[in-house]
Copies of this chain bind each other. A is one copy, B any other.
Amino acid sequence: MHEFSDDRSELIDLEDRMDSMHEECGVFGVYNHPDAANLTYLGLYALQHRGQESSGIVASNGEKLSRHTGMGLVRSVFRNIEMMKSLEGPHAIGHVRYSTTGSSSPTNAQPFLIDFKAGQLAAAHNGNLVNTDALRSEMEADGSIFTSSTDTEVIMHLIARSKYPAMEAMILDALAHVKGSYSILFLSKDTLYIARDPWGVRPLVLGKLGDGGHCVASETCAFDLIGAEYVREVLPGEMIRIQGDRIDTFQIPRFEPVSNPAHCIFEFIYFSRPDSFIFGENVDKIRRKLGRQLAKESPVPGADFVMGVPDSATTAALGFAEESGLRYDIGLVRNHYVGRTFIQPQQDGREFGVRLKFNTVKGVLKGKKIVMVDDSIVRGTTMKKIIKLVRTAEPAEVHLRISSPPIICPCFYGIDMPRKTDLVAAGMSVKEIEEYLGVDSLGYLSVDGMLEATHMPKENFCQACFTGKYPIEI
């Protein structure tokens, strides 16, 4: 349920918007290609689903960094040739960002660009640190000033304060002091630094361009668009330095041992695009297995067909259908021209936000016993409206199946989720949610089933939002 965002009009569906999770960011970088800024633009374009609030690019011509950022979609922020031409040089990094309403501000748009003792340095960060408040207070006490509310500025301060002489040592020194998730790119006038936290919470992949150029992205779908070749994942705890013809890798210093990665399982469940390859696997393949497992755990005997809530739950619904032997069908269509408007009818505004985006296919639903698959339930308010909408098409029964376990705890590693008290599953049993939503039955995937479905080591995933066990101390 990615949402369309646009800088020109007010939101009607604010409540609906708050009722889904949001990835905080996507990052993309190019090193040594004549078309660096343009390729970065296109990479961000492909990663737009990871953040629609602000977009930005910093480029380097080897001497000087230039920057353009703004609120809105990539195509709104970079809307003419002149803007792109000012971003000159063979190296560039870019960023798309989603943020909570409170801290939505132009000064938080990334990449962040500073001048400091070692020259200019830009950073584009996906993730969330858990010890920035402490670090920030400490540095403020010591006389530092902050012009944004981003974690990135804290990292920049740490770099600038490092006593090491070389840039890579300064960055490693800084990263050794932060805790939390980061898939982060740094660009100096002539060097690209790529780093990923020791838990590998967010995805980060390395690619190859023709003629010796390199690229890096949150997801491989960005490589597909620009015709780049996937090379490998950036490893958890690894920092890669690309400088001229050399590629060197460094280990980010850790003061405590990290036994396992803690990949965000929600990247598979919902965030990443199905055509991406992350954490060493096809998103589509895992998402389908989640659907299959769900069918095993929570079958709906005698159902007429299986449908997904478009577009994000479609793949899981296909998996459910395959496993159960039920027919897959489309009972909800999504209007892709829309998603928001500043107009609403005076009566019946209540479910209008949902109706703007979805409509039922009445002939398909009428009188049928249906299995409806979605990927997750956060507050439950939007799902309640979707069920109500579906009921207007008069299906006989609606059985809701969720391809993830109940979300009972918030995320602190880079996903924007409501507080615990607003998570429907934190306060209600499955039975109670079933009743609240008005479905004939409700089935969630089990935590174990979910992890098994990945066919990857269970201990390699963060499952904090389902269990409250946080792999990185908060």
Residues of B within 8 A of A79 (CB): 8-9, 342
Residues of B within 8 A of A39 (CB): 345
Chain A interface, number of residues (Cβ within 8 angstroms): 92
Asked if B311 and A224 make an inter-chain contact with CB atoms under 8 angstroms apart, the answer reads no
**Which of B117, B147, B341 lies in contact with A45, CB distance below 8 A?**
B341
Residues of B within 8 A of A84 (CB): 343
**Which of B80, B116, B275, B345 lies in contact with A362, CB distance below 8 A?**
B275
Per-residue interface assignment for chain A, residues 337 to 348, with 1 indicating a CB less than 8 Å from any chain B CB and 0 otherwise = 110111111111
Per-residue interface assignment for chain A, residues 315 to 338, with 1 indicating a CB less than 8 Å from any chain B CB and 0 otherwise = 100100110000111100101111
14 CB < 8 A contacts A-B? A8-B75, A8-B76, A9-B75, A35-B346, A45-B338, A45-B341, A67-B107, A81-B342, A114-B146, A143-B157, A145-B156, A145-B159, A282-B361, A284-B364
Residues of B within 8 A of A341 (CB): 41-42, 45, 75
Bound CA–CA A421/B407 (angstroms): 58
Identify which of residues 374-400 in chain A touch chain B, using a CB-to-CB cut-off of 8 Å: none
Asked if B140 and A115 make an inter-chain contact with CB atoms under 8 angstroms apart, the answer reads yes
Bound CA–CA A4/B338 (angstroms): 10
Bound CA–CA A336/B227 (angstroms): 19
Copies of this chain in its oligomeric complex: 4
A181 interfacial by beta-carbon distance below 8 Å: no
A sample of 20 more A-B contacts (CB under 8 A), given A75-B341, A275-B333, is A8-B79, A41-B341, A42-B344, A45-B338, A45-B341, A46-B335, A75-B338, A81-B342, A115-B140, A115-B146, A116-B146, A143-B161, A224-B360, A225-B355, A275-B361, A275-B362, A284-B330, A284-B361, A284-B363, A318-B328
**Which of B225, B328, B343 lies in contact with A359, CB distance below 8 A?**
B225
**Which of B35, B80, B156, B360 lies in contact with A345, CB distance below 8 A?**
B35
Identify which of residues 22-41 in chain A touch chain B, using a CB-to-CB cut-off of 8 Å: 34-35, 38-39, 41
